[in-house]
A = this chain, B = another copy of it.
Amino acid sequence: MGRASDELKAETVILRASQAIQEVIRKDVANYGLNPTEYSVLELLYHMGDQPIQMIGKKVLISSSSITYVVDKLEQKKYVRRQGCPEDRRVIYAVLTGEGKALMDEIIPQHAIKIEEVFNDLNADEVNQTIELLKRVGCKAINN
């Protein structure tokens, strides 16, 4: 088995594993009336603070038109509001509302339990290895 073949295999395994995790997330956050993208955006705002719309797209890796759509939905649900930036009037921040923060305060501990189950078979070292390896792969992939 040559090098290139191993990498095609790695590609497949990453995609399958991530899709399986996506599915776990989908089912979990559906209990709170969210889809995975909405959860990702709320999670970003919760942990990283208010973000310009386009920064959300870069972090969550979705297209600009999708961000508009998702932020619309989250705004309808009152979890997020738009706030113009005075210094640069092109920029609009997505801001977590009190309701949004309260929701995430509730979701995240429950969600952590679900994710813990998924990584159950890995010890702490292996979890960290996974993080380090995939960080490097992810960075490389983003630069095409």
Contacts and interface: CB of A to CB of B under 8 A. Distances in A.
Interface in A57-73: 61
A108 B113 CA distance: 39
Copies of this chain present in the complex amount to 2
A43 B118 CA distance: 27
A141 B112 contact: no
B144 A24 contact: yes
A48 to B, nearest CB: 11
Query: Which secondary structure dominates chain A's binding surface?
Result: helix
B135 A13 contact: yes
Nearest to A142: B20
Contact of A141 (B24, B129, B138): B24
Interface of A: 3-25, 27, 40, 43, 61, 108, 111-113, 115-122, 124, 126-131, 133-138, 140-142, 144
A143 B23 CA distance: 10
B7 A137 contact: no
A113 B2 CA distance: 13
